[in-house]
Structure 1
Amino acid sequence: MPTNPATVPHTTHSLRWPVEPAQGGWYTNAEHEAAQKALTSSDDWRTGWKNTTTTAAFEDAFTSYTGAAFALTFNSGGTALEMLLRYLRLERGDEVVSCAINFVGPHLAVINQGGRLILAEPDPVTLNLDPVDTERVMSPRTRAILLTHWNGATADLRPFLDLANRHPHPVHGPPVVIVDAARACGGRTPSGMVVGAEGWATVFSFESKKLMTTFGQGGMVTTNDPALAERLRWMRTYGGREHWGTNQMLSKIQAAVGLVQLGRLDEMNAARIHRAHQRTKVLTGITELALPPALDDRTHVYYRHNLLVPTAWAGAGRDALMEMLAARHGVGSIVSDPPTYLGHQLIRAHTAGQDCPRAERLAARLLCPCLHPLMSETDEATVCDAIRATTAQVARTFHA
């Protein structure tokens, strides 16, 4: 098995553009005013920071936006996913299938909640979970399919819902489909539905880098399952008087700015999509680079703008391109994401023997140069020129 892969260039001290934006959803005067109002309204000792009304308003707005029946806030997307998996009461041997190309967080949550993580290959175009390979690795022990809308390329849930119905667990029935939408808030699926309306439950993250943010942390779960929604309310608030629970609440000030960010989400996503399409247009014609798919039947929100170098460049050529972009042009880039078992020792040990060669091959060709809607036109042109120049230079050494 390969050693842990580097995900960023070694030369970062002189970057003019970071390896990735530190903030995805940016703030305006409206967010500042909402935060100030929350501060002022909490000054009275009779009122304080109790967040019930503001949080409820944020949840109601999120259900209206997504079309889901229920939305529940959490202090992060990671804790929200932990609670979803806890609800399933996974027993020894219960399996959760997920794509090998992923952020480590979802896979660690499966392991922590007692499930056996089963890795499946990515689709070679979108790098989302491949339904054909998912069916290959499913078994009578499969309790859940954990599907990620990877880097903003919204996945089609229908094949996975069909898979679940065709492969029921002998005790619990069809495996549930859990959707990780941390990087796809505001997208639309091929069904024409807003991300969050399909599947058993969808998890959103409002961490700083995400498409909308609630002061750098925060999360949401949407679901159409009333029993799940009721249990999640207990879990995040110490369990009421009967059940286990803990404190995972979103604060009043986070909910207040979340309401504003949600109202601006489509505008921010449109700016991101426009910038990504601009970059794709400018880079079209560089034969050595495979550009991100447009996905005309759905909304790709371009959390990252992914590039794939030729197979002959995999690993060393890709790394040379990243290093050259950084050292000579100040352009940061990131491999987002390598297979989780290559970069995290716990996941590697847990999934021993489950190598995913397609995922490894694709990840070895992947890089994501910095992109953000607030980059100036001049900055964007400079970054594209750097990508073009460095690709040409690497091509002289690594022949596709």
Structure 2
Amino acid sequence: MPTDATTVPRSRAPRRWPDEPAQGGWYTDAETAAAQKMLDESRSWRTGWRNKDLVAAFEEAFAQATRARHAIAFNGGGTALEMVLRCLEMQPGDQVVSCALNFVGTHLPVIHQGGDLVLAEPDPLTLNLDPADVEHRLTDRTRAIVVTHWNGLAADLRPFLDLAERHPHPHHGPPVVIVDAARAAGGITPAGLPVGAEGWATIFSFETKKLMTTFGQGGMVTTGDARLADRLRRLRTYGLSQEWGTNQQLSKIQAAVGLVQLGRLDEMNAARIARAHERTRLLHGIEHLTLPPELDGGRHLYYRYNLLVPASWAGAGRDALMELLADRYGLGSIINDPVTYTGHDYIRAHTDGQACPRAEALAARLLCPCLHPQIPADEEREICDAIRRATDEIARTFATT
């Protein structure tokens, strides 16, 4: 049985740079002032922490930023995806196709909402879902295609929308395209549209490590479907006396900070892109590393900076490189992400018999060294020098074995 983990076993020696940043979008005095204002306004027992108008203002601003008709705030991206899938009201045998190279939080809600998870291969260049492989896996039971803008690289949704039209479900019509944009807020798709403007529904996360964050948790769904938007608003608020629902609301202090973070999102993303491009320049020419594709126009936000080692190093060589970076140079890295069925027992049990060899092969070559725009420029040069030196050493080791 294949196994993989997000990080490989390494010594616990102190590191100058962690496996991954603990926070993605960073805070300024503006976020502090917004939070303080909410704290001051909520001191009275008559006031409390609920403010529908402020949450609605955040939703409206987010809808405008993504050119979506509707934006619905949730207390997390995972719960948001869960509720979107619930709106499909899947029956036994209904299928949902998604890339095998993914975060487990994309696949667990599919299973929990009664869908049969059908795993597909990633594109070898972008590591996003491969539309050619998806086409082979569509059946007359497919209800949805979940496309992830993986690690901040915006996928082209047009091939999936076309596939859905050409492979309708006999009772429900074309499968819906659901977009996981947890790592891509503020991005631009190859169609030139903001991430969030295309597809039946797009899910965003504002968890602490994401490109913008609302005190460590939060989420949003954008959609052009008014019926879906209305249903989601009911589901997040105990059904609004009409149907089953639960409490998945965002607080007003999160909305206040979210408005500030949204206003600064382009600035933060630009800094991240600039830092990633600088890393690519500094790492250029390393024979044994495949660097991430460098795309213009905000199509790649570099939520993580993906490196691929040679196929001959897969597994053991990649692990040795991660260990060397951590132990000798103090540079943490992460496998972000392994194939979900290799590292999660529940997903493995519900996808028994499925295999995506291309995804497994790519995951065995993948590592993501720590990257953040706020790492000082001189430290970034040290990081790149460490990657170059460590890669050269592992290459010599493999040349003699």
TM-score normalised to structure 2 length: 0.98
The answer for the alignment partner of 2:113 in structure 1 is 113
The answer for the alignment partner of 1:392 in structure 2 is 392
Q: Is the 8 A contact 1:205 1:220 kept in 2?
A: yes
| Count of residues in correspondence between the two structures | 400
* SS at 1:368 equivalent: strand
Identity over aligned pairs, percent: 69
Q: CA deviation at 1:11?
A: 2.2
Could you tell me which amino acid in structure 1 is paired with residue 320 of structure 2? A
Structure 2 unaligned segments of length 5 or more: list them: none
Structure 1 unaligned segments of length 5 or more: list them: none
The answer for the alignment partner of 1:96 in structure 2 is 96
Q: How far apart are the structure 2 equivalents of 1:297 and 1:353?
A: 40
The answer for the alignment partner of 2:329 in structure 1 is 329
The answer for the alignment partner of 2:313 in structure 1 is 313
The answer for the alignment partner of 1:291 in structure 2 is 291
CA RMSD of aligned residues (A): 1.1
Could you tell me which amino acid in structure 1 is paired with residue 64 of structure 2? S
Q: Is the 8 A contact 2:54 2:256 kept in 1?
A: yes
Q: CA deviation at 1:15?
A: 1.1
Q: CA deviation at 1:53?
A: 1.1
* SS at 2:263 equivalent: helix
The answer for the alignment partner of 1:185 in structure 2 is 185
Between 1:3-12 and 1:129-138, the stretch displaced more is: 3-12
The answer for the alignment partner of 1:239 in structure 2 is 239
User: Relative to structure 1, is the Cα distance of residues 213 and 5 closer, same or farther in structure 2, using a 3 angstrom cutoff?
Assistant: closer
Q: How far apart are the structure 2 equivalents of 1:69 and 1:121?
A: 32
* SS at 1:71 equivalent: strand
The answer for the alignment partner of 1:61 in structure 2 is 61
Could you tell me which amino acid in structure 1 is paired with residue 53 of structure 2? T
Q: Is the 8 A contact 2:342 2:348 kept in 1?
A: yes
1:146 matched to 2:149: no
Q: How far apart are the structure 2 equivalents of 1:324 and 1:265?
A: 34
The answer for the alignment partner of 2:270 in structure 1 is 270
Could you tell me which amino acid in structure 2 is paired with residue 274 of structure 1? A
Could you tell me which amino acid in structure 2 is paired with residue 46 of structure 1? R
1:362 matched to 2:351: no
* SS at 2:398 equivalent: coil
Q: CA deviation at 1:46?
A: 2.5
Q: How far apart are the structure 1 equivalents of 2:196 and 2:298?
A: 14
Q: How far apart are the structure 2 equivalents of 1:93 and 1:269?
A: 41
Q: Is the 8 A contact 1:190 1:298 kept in 2?
A: no
Q: Is the 8 A contact 1:208 1:216 kept in 2?
A: yes
Deviations along 1:103-159, one digit per CA (max 9) or x if unpaired, are 000100000001000000000001000000001111100000001000001000000
Q: How far apart are the structure 1 equivalents of 2:265 and 2:398?
A: 41
* SS at 1:396 equivalent: helix
State how 1:207-218 maps to structure 2 within 5 Å: 207-218=207-218
Q: CA deviation at 1:6?
A: 5.5
State how 1:345-384 maps to structure 2 within 5 Å: 345-384=345-384
User: Relative to structure 1, is the Cα distance of residues 207 and 217 closer, same or farther in structure 2, using a 3 angstrom cutoff?
Assistant: same
Give structure 1 regions of 4+ aligned residues with deviation exceeding 6 angstroms: none
